[in-house]
A and B are shown apart, each in its own frame.
Chain A
Amino acid sequence: MTRYFSEDHEWIEIEGDPHALRGTVGITDYAQGQLGDITFVELPAEGATVGKGDSVSVVDSVKAASDVYTPVSGTVAEVNPALADEPELVNTQAETGGWLFRVTLSDPSELGSLMDETAYKAFVDGL
């Protein structure tokens, strides 16, 4: 399992065999800390085709609504069913149980433009 990070503060955890890669996407712990108390998460439709960088989800906090961009292209395979009743999971478990959606990758080469954990940490430290 390998985890990548985007400059827009999404994480994606990749699994599966090299010919059918699947990624689980969420926002980073840094991002949830910036947003504050999350009150609602609008998730993409299962089966939707999404392109890298598309706004596919919206995270509502007390103060603002924020776009979440998919870090890779593909098809939405699953959305996190727990978030309908417990959107605060994105605060308390941003990089585990607060995941947003799973996507089947259509172009795994896109992962090359993302950061690893060390690079993302350095990126955040520089903000």
Chain B
Amino acid sequence: MSEYDLPDDETSDEPEELAPLLLPLDAWHRARGGRMVEFAGYMMPVQYEGIMAEHLWTREHAGLFDVSHMGQLLVSCEDGSPDAAEAALEAALPIDLKTLKLGGVRYSLLLDEHGGILDDLMVARWPGGFYLVVNGATKWDDIATLRDLLPDDVTLNHLEDRALLALQGPEAFAALERHVTGDFPLSVTTFMKGGRFRIAGTDAWISRSGYTGEDGFEISVPAEHAATVADLLCAEPEVRPIGLGARDSLRLEAGLPLYGHDLSPDTSPIEADLVFGINKRRREQGGFPGAERVQRELSDGVGRKRVGLVLEGRQAAREGADVFAGDQKVGALTSGGFSPSLQRPIAMAYVATASAAPGTTLTIDVRGKRLSAIVTAMPFVPHRYHR
């Protein structure tokens, strides 16, 4: 027996010679029976009791995820003026910051000059600047790219002394609210809004966002308080710790792309169906890296698109499997696995635009066998955000 396509790094082409780093909650995960694997250069828990049980628990109750491997960055201006930081960030990202109010959170994309995707990220307007959360495996490259793009009077701080926890699921609000105090109640944070609160005696930035399709929160706290906060939340009857395995199956069901798999420098935002990550004013005005390609593809269309696939039967197809329309190869899978909620295999793929319409029947080659699959609008499992 031997395994292939284990949960791997967010980028497969990066040499990983260095010993993996330990996250602030490393001992906490081990004490709770987390099975630790290397991911994005860190040792992280892939599961505790089992991926299926953790996945379903999150959909029904609330799951606590340690996502401290992700990069937390603060973009601010030395003289404290938000305008310079805002202009600088708009030149670097296709985001409209004029419509992003204090406490607002928005999904954005870091593009190269050719319009390829270098990373996807979250941008929030904080009182002192802009708070960015970027992927763990790409954070060092992102920091270098952003420092290149930002002028000297705009500072990019890597908040390496902070941990990031995600509490996700329909009971996340109830569990978190018991422990949070602040200038306003937690209930005023609706989807993609955040604010400063206190939890377990420490300051926290809490936003109502996540990567599961469920209602939930992302909680940034000083690293030295992470274990206290995690203990407090996991003591609630609604909350269990959840590993990377279920994080992946939850986001796949939610139709959310994973950088390094579904997104890469070889894919454009239009191909990836992430036009919403390029705000309307920026689409029209341009003025960000890759704008030329984005505008061209918006008017002329693209040759291939990221689509969802629901497979017949129980056998899953994995990343890299070729997709066919009849005898003709029309694309390949970028993610795939068994959906615990739907109890059937699902996948994401890039396929030729002619084969990308929902309802189209395609086949997937899995070790020489052709599995039948239907192009399906995503999310596979409806989002339940609290708007």
Contacts and interface: CB of A to CB of B under 8 A. Distances in A.
Contacts of B193: none
B169 to A, nearest CB: 18
Interface stretch (B2-10, B23-31, B295-303): B2-10
Nearest to B317: A65
A62 B314 contact: no
Contacts, number: 74
Interface of A: 8-10, 27, 31, 35-37, 39-40, 42, 58-69, 87
B46 interface: yes
A8 B52 contact: no
B1 A59 contact: yes
B365 to A, nearest CB: 14
B314 A87 contact: yes
Interface residues of B, number: 27
B1 A66 contact: yes
A120 B53 CA distance: 29
Interface of B: 1-7, 46-47, 50-53, 55, 245, 248-249, 313-316, 318, 337-338, 340, 345, 367
Contact of B50 (A37, A65, A87): A37
B367 A58 contact: yes
A83 B233 CA distance: 39
Contacts of B3: 35, 64-66
Contacts of B313: 40
Contacts of A35: 3
Q: Which of A8, A31, A66 has the most CB of B within 10 A?
A: A66
Majority DSSP secondary structure for residues of A touching B = strand
B259 to A, nearest CB: 19
A10 B2 CA distance: 11
Given A40-B338, A62-B52, A62-B337, A67 B315 contact: no
B1 A39 contact: no
Given A62-B249, A62-B338, A63-B337, A40 B314 contact: yes
A36 B316 contact: no
B51 A40 contact: no
A31 to B, nearest CB: 5
B51 A68 contact: no
Contacts of A27: 1
A49 B249 CA distance: 37
Contacts of A66: 1-4
Q: Which of A8, A37, A62, A64 has the most CB of B within 10 A?
A: A62
